[in-house]
Amino acid sequence: MSLSDKDILKIRDEFPILSRKVGERDLVYLDNTATSLTPRRVVSEIEFLYANSKANVHRGVHTLSQEATDRQEHTRRRVQGWINADSFEEIIFTRGTTEAINLVASSFGDRFKDGDEIILTVMEHHANIVPWQLLQRHKDIKIRVVDINDRGELDLDQYRSLFNEHTVFASFTHISNVLGTVNPVKEMTEIAHSHGVPVLVDGAQASPHLRPDMKDIGCDFYVFSSHKMYGPTGVGVLYGRKELLESMPPYQGGGEMIKHVSFEHTTFADLPFKFEAGTPDFIDIAAFSKAIDFIEETGIGNIRDHEEKLLDYATKRLLEIPGIKVYGNAPHKAAVLSFNIGEAHNYDVGFLLDKMGVAVRTGHHCAQPLMERLGIPGTVRASFAVYNTFEEADKLIEALKRIAPMLL
Ligand SMILES: *Cc1c(COP(=O)(O)O)cnc(C)c1O
């Protein structure tokens, strides 16, 4: 079963923002890779909670506090089920993907020694580069980088060859936020594990398009952000295998993460709370479960099918434009379309598209090493979500056809 035009219109009804104007024009929102829009049920839940049930979690004996705790823990179990993790203790709430990777780099990275090596890839988001570089302030750690081929796929032979007796960690993205490439993360995890090396998978771009299965992938850590999967901002998830999380020191200290505090000696709370210092964003965490409801009701397979059809259609039509160059042509690709028109600057294209109501992202997309590898300063990036339509893809193409002669 796939989504009909009528289904898409019904879905669009859930997103009030889609009926706003930009200037005089209808908004065409094609910046879903940066953040997706939010369905009414999520917005309503946030409003409901602030209006009716706001109380801090964990510490309270009173009814409202217990309701807040129940809601937060409900989302934790919802996420656990969604990603097929063994236990709720393996689900840690963070502020987002970025904080989740920083947590792992800082806490798991505590055990790394001078001379150790970490494997990353050239297509990583800065969030999966800089936290590892921060470790280099205190330790002489080497970062080895997997390259891509002309289609924007990782060079798996080179990846294999990077492992040696110094390798202590591998961290790579599930889906590239620039190229759209879906990486073979299960195979890459198996390769790392055959060398006894633990793995983090950055799922920020995968979680809106597929259901990441922890048992299937077999990775040690998996991270993603709620705001890219129709949920509220300010919430991220770190999945970690329990034995590893238990062996790691806390990331931040404060309330919630302790068992007992004295000035002589403090003991830490059990998982997952050991890694959740301070008051969490409990309202947005609670509302995040409504975003998972939305994805589940719509069907993650339906979402992906629709996005892939849009991608195929938009790619084909984009190639009608003279001078167009598309970055990322992997056969296994998510609905991310990065391109440039001739020598035109990506910013100028994005600026003119905005004048026509079309919202795309321009620039380096937090992936400067990838831009350097491609030999360009940046790209124009259009990306699709389940609520986008073929008419919107047409609007993008028609706008580009008007813009191209102005810039070339
Ligand atoms: C967006 C993104 C991040 C960072 O996510 P935040 O929500 O900004 O923390 C990391 N990796 C990839 C691949 C992304 O697309």
Query: pLDDT, tens digit, for every residue of 239-294?
Result: 999 999 999 999 999 998 999 999 999 999 999 999 999 999 999 999 999 999 99
pLDDT confidence tier of residue 60, bands split at 50, 70 and 90: confident
Give the mean model confidence (pLDDT) for residues 193-210: 98
Looking at residue 257, its pLDDT comes to: 92
Which atom of ligand 1 is closest in space to residue 33's alpha carbon? Answer: 15
The pLDDT assigned to 1 comes to 67
- Give the pLDDT band (50/70/90) at residue 59: confident
- How far is residue 6's CA from residue 3's CA, in Å, rounded to a whole number? 8
| Rg (alpha carbons) of the chain, rounded to whole number | 22
What is the mean pLDDT of the segment spanning 344-348? 97
9: pLDDT strictly greater than 90: yes
pLDDT of 344: 96
Q: Say what the pLDDT of residue 291 is.
A: 98
Per-residue pLDDT reduced to its tens digit, 217-247: 999 999 999 999 999 999 999 999 999 999 9
Q: Has residue 204 got a pLDDT over 80?
A: yes
Which residues have CB under 8 Å from 70's CB, separation 6+? none
Average pLDDT of 350-354? 97
> How much is the pLDDT for 58?
83
CB-based contacts of 360-368 (< 8 A; 24+ apart in sequence): 360/30, 360/31, 360/396, 361/31, 361/33, 361/34, 365/33, 365/125, 365/177, 365/178, 365/338, 366/125, 366/126, 366/127, 366/177, 367/123, 367/124, 367/125, 367/126, 367/176, 367/177, 367/178, 368/126
Distance 1 CA to ligand 1 centre (A): 31
b/e 291-328 (16+ beta carbons within 10 angstroms → b): bbbbbeebbbebbbebbebbbeebbebbeebeeeebbb
Position 203 scores a pLDDT of 98
Percent of the chain residues past pLDDT 70, beyond the cut: 100
For the stretch 70-118, pLDDT in tens is: 999 999 999 999 999 999 999 999 999 999 999 999 999 999 999 999 9
Tell me which residue of 152, 175, 147, 146 sits closest to 328, measured CA to CA.
152
The residue nearest atom 5 of ligand 1, judged by CA position, is 97
Mean pLDDT value of segment 181-198? 98
Residue 152 has pLDDT above 80, yes or no: yes
Q: Is 125 in the pocket of ligand 1 (CB under 6 A)?
A: yes
Q: From the CB of 69, is ligand 1 less than 6 Å away?
A: no
- 98 CA from centroid of ligand 1 (Å): 6
pLDDT value, residue 53: 86
For residue 281 and ligand 1, the question of a CB distance below 6 A is answered with no
Whether the CB of 183 sits within 6 Å of ligand 1: no
When the pLDDT of each residue in the chain is averaged and rounded to a whole number, the result is 97
Between the CA of 128 and the centroid of ligand 1 the distance, in Å, is 9
pLDDT higher than 70, residue 373 = yes
Question: What residues are annotated to the active site?
Answer: 366
